[in-house]
Structure 1
Amino acid sequence: MVRASIAARERFVSKTAPTGARRSDPALDKALALLDAAPLVDGHNDLPWVIREAARGDVVGYDLNRAHQETDTDIPRLREGKVAAQFWAAFLPTAIPHPGRAVLEQIDLIRRMNEAHPETFLPAVKASDVVRAKKAGKIASFITVEGGVGLENSLAPLRIWHAAGARLMTLCHNESLDWVDSATDRARHGGLTAFGRAVIAELNRLGMIVDLAHVSADVMRQVLDISTAPVVFSHSNARALCDHPRNVPDDVLARVKDNGGIVMATFVPKFIRPAGTQSPAAPASLEDLAGHIEYLADKAGLAHVGIGSDFFGGPTPAGLEHVGRFPHLIAEMIRRGWSDDAVVGLAGGNFLRVFRAVEREGRRQRTLRGPGLGTVESLDRAG
């Protein structure tokens, strides 16, 4: 209750005080200085879907240069938040008609965001683009695909998505597919099918990041068994602290270090604290999320944690209401005694290490074999 009151007062001050009137906060000052020098990478944001829903996909009409107080993401607050690289989700609901078309529409929307705001966004496809964008005073703008339903049970679209700029794929969303089980749906396959394993192999070959947010625990374990590149959980927390199937269990966290991967702590309140423990007077908070980050670091290692907000225009924790609040999370970790190296790793350094390793493995794999071919029918149902 006390923490909630403090957080509410700080939010009021930050929203109402004129520029330069912020009270002294040494930890926040240090966080801002660190983020001026080192990149902050956010692993997941659903703004493209917000624009699709709110403005029928009209990027110019939505006007990202305006602060959108009704939601959480826009250019002024991305700048306030010191964001150096943003992974935008080409998300689509599992049941959407024409999912293959819908993925391409969302990829196109992200590309149109870049075209509409060239002074802000640098279209990015490589880990090195993050440093290039930061030097240019821009935000590296990456494309991800959230939900393998758009494959329509064929490997070939992976290569088209990659050619269009996608560099990360979340295997499924909230529903199981014909080849992969979701964390929040009935298990249909006991994990991955043969086609699902082929998807992982092709992502490794392409140098696309495999994202295990949203998959069942069995899929997490099976992918860790077979992936030749590090994996990410682009927006997930610790299941031991919040027993939600979207979060990562301890036995999987223990394997992330050996894989070289990363778990990117997410801001969705119901993944921070069980819904039944929250109320308007005691919501999930920035401090609660910091506890998840410390737990993830304890179980997987300091080099294996990052940030994946999952801002989507919906509920947010107290203290992390919008993309301008990232430095406040870094400041909280500084208050908890994290070293400069540790917070720089959390902010983006750990993710960039993973991304570079994925790129190296892709180059290696492409010298060994050609494109993966096949469909669910040919790989799972043959004979």
Structure 2
Amino acid sequence: MKKLLLAALLAGGCTAQGPSPEPAPPADRHKRILTLDTHLDTPMHFARAGWSFADRHTLANDLVQVDIPRMADGNLDGGFFAIYTAQGPLTPEGYAAARDYAFQRSDLIDATIARFPDRILPARTAADAVRIAGEGKLVAFKSMENSYALGEDLGLLAEFQRRGVRMAGPVHSKNNQLADSATDKARWNGLSPLGRQWVAEMNRLGMVIDASHSSDAAFDQMLELSTTPLILSHSGSRDFFDNPRNLDDARIRRLAEKGGAICVTTVFLSNMNLSPARAELFGKLEAIGTLSPEEQADLTRRWRELDKTESMWADDFDRFMQGVLHVIKVAGPDHVCFGADWDGGGGIKGIEDISALPKVTERLKAAGYSDADIEKMWSGNVLRILRAAEAGAAR
């Protein structure tokens, strides 16, 4: 059945045609679906000493939430591995340092994926994803979280595209030279003049615009200016939980009207409990690639000890699914996808890592959604938006 679904996706549709198969058990149903996650922060772990992406790690002995064995457990066929660059000063020196860091992170992703060609392969197009999954291998796209690394030279965007980046967002948690952030005080009232040029260049290159982390005004302007649909790679509904990182339902509807999609995340279903103790550990986690194996183990131990006395998120799987079903009701199954923010702060009780993903499919089926709709939400909508960006560049 999965081969039939993949063939239909390769042909440009979202579901297979023909006689309906017999109902399948929940686990088997999830295995039949091509599943993609649009925001994986796992590359922060790729440089760790003594650590391998191909090894099985557990919640008890490691903080990582995504590895190749658990991708098989949760039938996560692949996704977008993020080149995340922290926001720094808007100076030539700051831009140069960010550019070099982003190039190094891009190279690290490539080198890590290249070590396991029998298990995971890089993807550049929607057709690549379908072909690779059809071969029984995992799919590795690249995205860029925070285009601060471009500095004021939009010509660098073509270099990142050449290196395989197929999705990018203009901004992260602070305003930069391109746009206002959802979590900062407005400077540009949306996009800067350079940010408007960035939208045009993204369209020209056939790259998907990611509006997660952008301010409402920046979202509005990107939606107006872009000639291809937008995606929100890891966001939720502000009407479900009021946080500036989420998008209000009126804007979600407008996103859907323009053909875009919102990929629901496990974060900001409630307020984040970032206590001083947790903040200290988060700082170490973001630099985990520089720690020795002994320091990595100590960080995991301290994180899990803190979990016993305080939770970072006061949510569970049921709350997550309430948020998912709310977004589906607002946007419709043709405009929903998944980006849980694995290894970037995501994961809550009952859905702590990617091995829990079959539960999502089971709950969607119980809510009355068809296999065809569930397939769209797990991958079809993302592939459709990728194809639209590719077609836009061809034009």
SS at match of 1:175: coil
Matched with 2:41 is 46
1:185/1:287 Cα in 2 relative to 1: closer, same or farther (>3 Å)?
A: same
Counterpart of 2:128 in structure 1 is 129
Q: CA 1:208 to 1:315, structure 2 compared with 1: closer, same or farther past 3 Å?
A: closer
Check conservation: 2:190, 2:218, Cα contact below 8 A: yes
Change (3 A) 1:281 1:110: closer
Q: Note if 1:30 corresponds to 2:25.
A: yes
Matches of 2:172 and 2:119 in 1, distance apart?
Answer: 29
What one-letter code is carried by the residue in structure 2 that aligns with 1:185? D
Quick one: distance in 1 between partners of 2:53 and 2:320? Answer: 27
Q: CA RMSD in A?
A: 2.1
**What residue is the counterpart of 2:252 in the other structure?**
253
Aligned mates of 1:261, 1:83 — CA distance in 2: 22
Asked if residue 88 in structure 1 is aligned to residue 119 in structure 2, the reply is no
Q: Report the residue type matching 2:251 in the other structure.
A: V
Residue 191 of structure 1: aligned partner: 190
Q: What is aligned with 1:306?
A: 337
Match 1:272 to one of 264, 269, 278: 269
Alignment correspondent of 2:52: 63
CA shift, 1:275, in A, is 4.2
One-letter code aligned to 2:117: P
Q: 1:143: which partner in 2?
A: 142
Q: Percent identity?
A: 30
C-alpha offsets along residues 284-342 of structure 1, whole Å, 9 cap, x if unaligned? 11221211222112222210000001111645211111111111111111122222122
The SS at the match of 1:235 is strand
Please give the alpha-carbon distance, in whole angstroms, between the structure 1 residues aligned to 2:312 and 2:256: 37
CA displacement 1:158-205 (0-9 Å, x = unmatched): 000000000000211111002200011111100012210110111011
For residues 11-37 of structure 1, what are the alpha-carbon distances to aligned partners after superposition, in whole Å with 9 as ceiling and x for unaligned? xxxxxxxxxxxxxxxxx9634323333
2: CA distance, partners of 1:162 / 1:75: 25
Deviation at 1:50, TM superposition (A): 2.9
Alignment partners' CA distance in 2, 1:50 and 1:218: 34
1:184-237 deviation line (CA, Å, top 9, x unaligned): 111110001221011011101111000000000111111111110001000000
Output the CA distance in 2 between the equivalents of 1:177 and 1:339.
42
Deviation at 1:282, TM superposition (A): 8.8
Residue 294 of structure 2: aligned partner: none
Retained in 2: the 8 A contact 1:243–1:274?
no
Whole-angstrom CA distance in 2 between matches of 1:336 and 1:281: 28
- Map 1:315-330 onto structure 2 (within 5 A): 316-330=347-361
* Structural mapping, 1:232-243, within 5 Å: 232-243=231-242
Q: Rate the CA distance shift 1:32–1:129 in 2: closer, same or farther, 3 A.
A: farther
Q: In the aligned structure 2, how far is the partner of 1:178 from the partner of 1:315? A: 27
Deviations 1:105-135 (A, max 9, x none): 1110110111111111111000011111111
| In 2, Cα distance between equivalents of 1:114 and 1:163 | 17
SS at the partner of 1:62? coil
- Residue matched to 2:11: none
For 1:93, the aligned partner's letter is: A
Runs of 5+ consecutive residues of structure 2 not aligned to the other structure: 1-22, 274-309
Given residue 78 of structure 1, which amino acid in structure 2 is its aligned partner? M
> Which has the larger displacement, 33-42 or 138-147?
33-42
1:232-254 CA distance string (max 9 Å, x none): 00000000111111101122111
Distance 1:327 1:338 in 2: 15
The 1:33/1:201 distance shift into structure 2, 3 A limit, reads: same
Alpha-carbon distance in structure 1 between the residues aligned to 2:79 and 2:178: 29
Mapped contact 1:84–1:133 kept (Cα < 8 A): no
State the distance in 2 between where 1:129 and 1:157 align. Answer: 24
Task: Give the whole-Å Cα distance in 2 for the aligned partners of 1:46 and 1:186.
Answer: 26
- Note if 1:349 corresponds to 2:380: yes
Unaligned runs of 5+ in 1: 1-27, 365-383
In the alignment, which residue of structure 1 is the partner of 2:328?
Answer: 297
- Rounded Cα–Cα distance in structure 1 between residues aligned with 2:170 and 2:328: 24
Paired with 1:216 and 1:313, the residues of 2 have a C-alpha distance of 20
Runs (4+) off by over 4 Å: 279-282
Q: Which amino acid aligns with 2:382?
A: F
Cα distance in 2 for partners of 1:132, 1:181 equals: 38
Q: For the Cα contact (< 8 Å) 1:39–1:130, is it kept in 2?
A: no
Q: Aligned with 1:145: secondary structure? A: strand
Identify the range of structure 1 (108-117 vs 29-38) with the bigger mean alpha-carbon deviation. 29-38
Q: What are the Cα deviations for residues 78-120 of structure 1, in whole angstroms up to 9, with x where unaligned? A: 1111112210001111128500001101110110111111111
- Identify the range of structure 1 (197-206 vs 92-101) with the bigger mean alpha-carbon deviation: 92-101
Are the equivalent residues in 1 in contact too, given 2:264–2:338 (CA < 8 A)? yes
How has the CA–CA distance of structure 1 residues 330 and 224 changed in structure 2, closer, same or farther, with 3 Å as cutoff?
Answer: same
